[in-house]
Amino acid sequence: MKILISNDDGIDSPGIKALAEAVKDLGEVFVVAPHRERSTAGHSLTLHKPLRIHDLGNNYFSTSGTPADCVYLGIREIVKGRPDLILSGINRGANLGTDLYYSGTVAAAREGALMNIRSYAFSLVDLSSTIPNSPREKLRFPMAAQWARKVIEETVNISFPAHSLLNVNIPNLESEKIKGLKVARQGFRYYKDEVTKRTDPRGREYYWIGGPYKGFEEDPLSDCHAIEESFVSIAPINIDCTHNQFYTTLRESL
Ligand code: MN
């Protein structure tokens, strides 16, 4: 089995090393990741400038591109032959609810799903980071990697529908405090929308966008809820974003 691993935190992140280490006996592992952090890169592809691949040895490669570029190049130039599995992560931080639209971690898995390759996105959720001024806990990447492996093993006999992926979030708890796996729906997260306007040393204005996390839409079936309840959330994600109910009303009204 050929396994392609990518992420959006960059080739040097502890999450990708822990993930590669945890699955190394499941097949031939190729790690292809951005040479610098590309978090919130979304699903962007680099079409208008050259991309470079750096062979770092031991089947580790970094590229100058985005997470989606890495999977695109990884499949066609590095693995050489279709991978059987694409794994993305383990991301430093949550990819729950609406985060999926901005996430480079999920985009790397989605790039695999577009090619109908079994794809998983893994993220480690530090619940303390949502509480203002609380001390940050150490991120337990090796623990999360063992749960990632468990998810892969428990789903091994489940066939993925065309163009789908599994988005997995793992709470940053001691392993024995995690209650187990929970299948969940994509939820909805809220952030305070903020624009900070400042002046640079040359006297020109610049802007800093993005505000703190504000909470989630309460839905007991959602991935956000599963994480709050100390479960590993597993959300099946579809590439097709069509709103079925709206589609029907629109069809009936036009
Ligand atoms: Mn990231």
How far does residue 27's CA lie from ligand 1's centre (Å)?
25
**Dist. CA 202 → ligand 1 center (Å):** 32
Provide the pLDDT for residue 80.
83
The pTM for the full model equals 0.96
pLDDT at position 136, please?
A: 79
The pLDDT of residue 127 is 83
Closest C-alpha to 71, from 149, 158, 3: 3
Q: How far is the CA of 201 from the centre of ligand 1 (A)?
A: 30
Centroid of ligand 1 to alpha carbon of 240 (angstroms): 24
Report yes or no on 232 lying in a domain: yes
Distance CA 250, CA 254 (A): 6
Domain with residue 88: its CATH number is 3.40.1210.10
Could you tell me the distance, in angstroms and rounded to a whole number, from the CA of residue 42 to the centre of ligand 1? 10
Q: Residue 44: which of 135, 106, 129 has the closest Cα?
A: 106
Residue 202 lies in a domain: no
**Ligand 1 centroid to residue 103 C-alpha, Å:** 7
Domain range for 72 is: 2-188+217-253
Query: Within the chain, which residues score under 50 in pLDDT?
Result: none
Query: What total of structural domains would you count in the chain?
Result: 1
What pLDDT, on a 0 to 100 scale, did the predictor assign at position 221?
97
Q: At a CB cut-off of 8 Å and minimum separation 6, what does 172 contact?
A: 124, 125, 126, 127, 128, 137, 139, 140, 144
Give the residue from 184, 185, 206 showing the smallest Cα distance to 196: 206
Q: How far is the CA of 214 from the centre of ligand 1 (A)?
A: 19
Decide if 193 is inside a domain: no
Contacts of 88 (CB under 8 A, 6+ apart): 5, 6, 7, 8, 67, 71, 105, 106, 108, 109, 119, 120, 121, 122
Give CA–CA dist 9/4, Å, rounded.
16
Distance 250 CA to ligand 1 centre (A): 37
Ion ligand 1 residues within 5 Å by Cβ: 8-9, 39, 91
Q: Is 73 exposed, middle or buried (0-12, 13-18, 19+ CB in 10 A)?
A: buried
Please, are residues 85 and 118 in contact by the beta-carbon 8 Å criterion?
yes
pLDDT for res 71:
98
212, part of any domain: no
Q: What is the CA radius of gyration of the chain?
A: 19
